[in-house]
């Protein structure tokens, strides 16, 4: 084998069948990590997604109502990609992405207990990281920037999310995590940081542009609106927004619960199970 051939092998992106093996291996590793490692990395992921949401909210304050709807959503989605880039490149545990552990579970490499253990720890850690970031941002009063435009955008986003129908929120969650898990799936083909970033940008931009719902992002988007509403009523009054329906119960019941259900269906069933069936089913049967 020539030096040129060796170089080509080392930099070529993995093919889908190889990506599936890599996904299974990563799933086994994630499911076996110690509790405190998983919790710490999941708190980081919640904060990372919140950083993407902060970026998106700030951009929304400048483009919503100014640019055509589609163009505005495109820009908002593009900057929101920061969140998953930080998770994948920086290293963190994100609940929606970890739905892909189902590929290892379906092949018998990960037990049901280990799968659910990971999901519960990561989900709670993501919630802690997102809520903590929302609190920090409220204390910073960044929402008052742009003559209050950022806070107005934050309140508007939060309010719109708690007024979704339950079934509608489930299906918006399904579509969201199909794209999120496809983004993570494509990073498994990557050989470099640039590869990973490019694999992430378009699917994440697409889900935001499409108006789909991400449970972990909503752990920031809605609480920051709730904090502004509850602890800065003068600011809320200045926006002239009608947000009486924005409450902690509506956050959980109208949004977080159905969106989480949808995210699991989209990621675990429509991406993980399908790719396991295509690329790993025969491997599991041979081993059996």
> Is 3 a member of any domain?
no
Euclidean distance between CA atoms 24 and 1, whole angstroms: 30
Contact 235, 147 (CB under 8 A): no
Q: What is the mean pLDDT of the chain?
A: 94
Query: What is the average per-residue pLDDT within 81-109?
Result: 97
Euclidean distance between CA atoms 184 and 204, whole angstroms: 10
> Is 112 a member of any domain?
yes
Contact 219, 45 (CB under 8 A): no
Residue 215 sits in which domain range? 15-282
Euclidean distance between CA atoms 40 and 51, whole angstroms: 17
> Is 288 a member of any domain?
no
The residue assigned the tokens 């909503």 is 218
Whether the predicted pLDDT of 6 surpasses 90: no
Whether the predicted pLDDT of 286 surpasses 70: no
> Is 136 a member of any domain?
yes
Whats the size of the chain, residue-wise?
288
% of residues, the chain, pLDDT over 70? 94
Q: State the CATH number of the domain containing residue 101.
A: 1.20.1080.10
pLDDT of 59-89, one tens digit each? 999 998 899 999 999 999 999 999 999 999 9
> Is 77 a member of any domain?
yes
> Is 1 a member of any domain?
no
- The single-letter DSSP state of residue 99 is G
Query: What is the average per-residue pLDDT within 156-164?
Result: 98
> Is 262 a member of any domain?
yes
Whether the predicted pLDDT of 201 surpasses 90: yes
> Is 57 a member of any domain?
yes
pTM score, two decimals?
Answer: 0.93
Whether the predicted pLDDT of 3 surpasses 50: no
- The single-letter DSSP state of residue 270 is I
Please count the structural domains in the chain.
1
Distance of CA 71 to the CA centre of its chain: 22
Query: What is the average per-residue pLDDT within 172-189?
Result: 98
Distance of CA 98 to the CA centre of its chain: 10
């Amino acid at each position: 084998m020539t030096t040129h051939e060796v170089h080509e092998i080392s930099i070529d992106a993995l093919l889908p069948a190889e990506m599936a093996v890599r996904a299974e291996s990563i799933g086994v590793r994630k499911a076996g990590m110690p509790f405190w490692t998983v919790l710490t990395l999941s708190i980081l992921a919640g904060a990372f997604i919140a950083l993407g949401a902060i970026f998106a909210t700030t951009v929304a304050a400048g483009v919503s109502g100014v640019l055509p709807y589609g163009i505005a959503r495109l820009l908002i989605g593009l900057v929101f990609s920061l969140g998953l880039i930080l998770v994948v490149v920086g290293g963190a545990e994100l609940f929606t992405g970890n739905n892909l552990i189902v590929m290892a579970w379906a092949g018998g490499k990960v037990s049901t207990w280990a799968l659910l253990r990971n999901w519960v720890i990561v989900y709670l850690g993501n919630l802690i990281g997102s809520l903590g970031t929302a609190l920090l941002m409220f204390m910073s009063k960044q929402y008052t920037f742009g003559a209050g435009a950022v806070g107005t955008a934050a309140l508007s986003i939060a309010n719109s999310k708690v007024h979704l129908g339950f079934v509608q929120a489930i299906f918006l969650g399904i579509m969201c995590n199909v794209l999120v898990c496809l983004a993570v799936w494509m990073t498994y083909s990557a050989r470099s940081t640039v590869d990973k970033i490019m694999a992430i940008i378009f699917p994440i931009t697409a889900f935001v542009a499409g108006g789909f719902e991400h449970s972990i992002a909503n752990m920031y988007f809605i609480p920051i609106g709730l904090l502004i509403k509850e602890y800065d009523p003068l600011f809320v009054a200045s926006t002239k927004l009608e947000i009486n329906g924005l409450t902690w119960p509506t956050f959980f019941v109208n949004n977080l619960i159905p969106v989480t259900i949808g995210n699991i269906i989209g990621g675990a069933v429509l991406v993980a199970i399908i790719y396991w069936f295509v690329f790993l089913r025969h491997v599991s049967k041979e081993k059996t």
